[in-house]
Amino acid sequence: MRYVTNDRTEPAQRELVHRLIDWNRIGSRYERYPAISRTFPLQNLKKGCEKPPYYCHYMAWRLGTWTDESPFQRLEELLGCAEALANWEHERSLISDPDFSTFWSLVWQLQVAEYLCKIGKDVCWAKSGPDLSALVSDERWYVECYTYQKSFALLSFLEELLVRIDPDIRIEYNRCMPFSLPSGKARERFLHKVLAPLLDPAYLAKHKKDAEQRYPVILYGDPDSSLYVYVEGIDVGAYIPGRIPNVVGHPESYLETALREAVRAKRDSNDLARYHPNLVAVNYLLSIDYRLARSSRTISFRPERDSNIDVATASAFGIDERLTREDLEVVMFAESVDSGSLERIARACSAP
């Protein structure tokens, strides 16, 4: 299905994405980063150009629009480590899946793999079962990686696209409260509805002009969530308080919910019940809410113990960083894991 707005017959995000991706920049980066070019053949990136709802492969977008080289330098390093490990070929699904959100899942697995190489030996990707395994203090641990995404991946795509249209376009929603954007096929309609008016330069120019007098100027208010897309002004005296609600929920409750949801999401993943001892490593980087809550709160809540999961850790970890023991906050461990076993992996994780 195609949606017609301003006499246009293709989704707005398709037109914008194809306009913004610089394939010459991608070619130049392929020459500088051989591990990236080996992992993501150009023909695979181009296959994603017509796949809804994003109309690009997640690496084509980043290679073709990001201006900072440091994420690619780090990714090159991570991929060099990953492809040297046994069974790397079994991770092809994360490479071929073009969805915008897959990028964070892949990078988190790469970071955990690099970390396991530091603290253990015989690290390998899984043919079946949890994502990775490694010998740590002569005991084989199985590690399942999980990136907490919810609606935050779609929100991140929208935000990245909007800032490239104009840096004065912003997004706001109620933090640490229930928040949900469309999923599945409805994502394409949602993105088109938000973005289609911005294809008209006169539309944006008018609202930016209005923002010089009074702001924020609302471009889109989602009827089914707390999301607002708006134009920010410059003159402090022109700011209108309360035009966009600034609501923050209960940080402790949000942390409890986020931890509980992660455990529930992974308890039956990749046949964890058959692989012990295991560790579920959760990354909350995409959730600004989680990072906001953690900046002012400690995790006092512990998810209910689950017989399938021995140890669960929580992090909010960026692409440029190197994982350390301190970044893996243990939030749950099962009674089936004896204290000596847990202490051994804790000592190994703390090793320089």
pLDDT grade for 168, boundaries at 50, 70 and 90: very high
Please check whether residue 1 lies inside any domain of the structure.
no
Which of 74, 63, 65, 77 lies closest to 29, judged by CA? 63
Q: Mean pLDDT throughout 161-172?
A: 96
Q: Mean pLDDT throughout 180-199?
A: 97
Here the tokens at position 278 are: 């295991």
Q: What is the pLDDT of residue 246?
A: 85
Helix, strand or coil, per DSSP, at residue 212: coil
Here the tokens at position 125 are: 């990707």
Please check whether residue 68 lies inside any domain of the structure.
yes
Q: Which residues contact 166 (CB under 8 A, 6 or more apart)?
A: 204, 208, 231
Please check whether residue 63 lies inside any domain of the structure.
yes
Please check whether residue 282 lies inside any domain of the structure.
no
Helix, strand or coil, per DSSP, at residue 185: coil
Helix, strand or coil, per DSSP, at residue 86: strand
Greater pLDDT, 89 or 325? 89
Please check whether residue 42 lies inside any domain of the structure.
yes
Separation of alpha carbons 238 and 231, rounded Å: 12
The domain total for the chain is: 1
> Does residue 192 register a pLDDT over 80?
yes
pLDDT grade for 163, boundaries at 50, 70 and 90: very high
Separation of alpha carbons 3 and 7, rounded Å: 9
Domain containing residue 28: 12-112
DSSP annotation of 69 reads: S
Please check whether residue 40 lies inside any domain of the structure.
yes
The model's pTM is 0.91
